[in-house]
Structure 1
Amino acid sequence: MQVTLYLEELDQVIVVAATNRPDLIDPGLLRPERIDIKISIGLPSREERLEIFRVHTKGMPMGLSEKELGGYAGKSEGLSGADIAAICREAAMNALRRSKQNKKEELLVRKRDFDTAFDEVCKSLKMPDKDNKPSYVS
């Protein structure tokens, strides 16, 4: 394996690697003197997920209460911050598309926009439904 040979030749160099699929890492890379310190960063807690939703909806014209947003934090167990950001982006796009089609409707990101976005993102993660974890989460 070329990477392991290259790593053995390096002197006074720190290599940082990241993956969301640690189960696919070649065990040869994880031997001592190659990549011998491993730090696992898990998925966000419910409170952390709520904060991620808040960050990614800040500045959006929301037609959704804080309590409803908290409900999505509860339903998003097993999702990463990037997954939650994708849900928020898709919800905003759903609202924009709807507003463009119906010019009289006020531009607000509503519950139905989040429901649709949640379903779309979960489907792309191979989640059977929004109450299950993605298939790659153990």
Structure 2
Amino acid sequence: MDHEMELKGCFRRIKNCAIELFSTMEEDLEMDDEDSWDLVGRDIRLKATFLYIDLSRVIACCEGEEHKKALTVLTNRFFYSMDELGDAVESRSLPLTQVRYSDTAGALREVVAVLAPSLHLGPCDPEE
């Protein structure tokens, strides 16, 4: 597979996961029942897995040590937020989950903002 094509796929999946997190997660948090909590928890774990793989590939291909280091710091903060969000969902605390979701969305927006110019993807938040 062409290296550039692989990176474009990574960027596209990152953008799609971000869009899904921004648009569907808030709706999912509105429903406060056992099935919704389980669904949100599984969705977070699945997206975190895809994002980890794709972001790792993108970081490995970064040119310039400073850019790589900055992106690594941002992604580490994002994954820390994802872990905290997962813990909040497991606790079934709606107020805590909403706070952790907000933190995670902000961290992901920062990551995507750094990545977006690379392939002219534009903003990933459907509200923007």
Give the alignment's TM-score, normalised by structure 2.
Answer: 0.29
Give the alignment's TM-score, normalised by structure 1.
Answer: 0.28
Q: Say which structure is richer in helix.
A: 2
Q: Name the larger-Rg structure.
A: 1
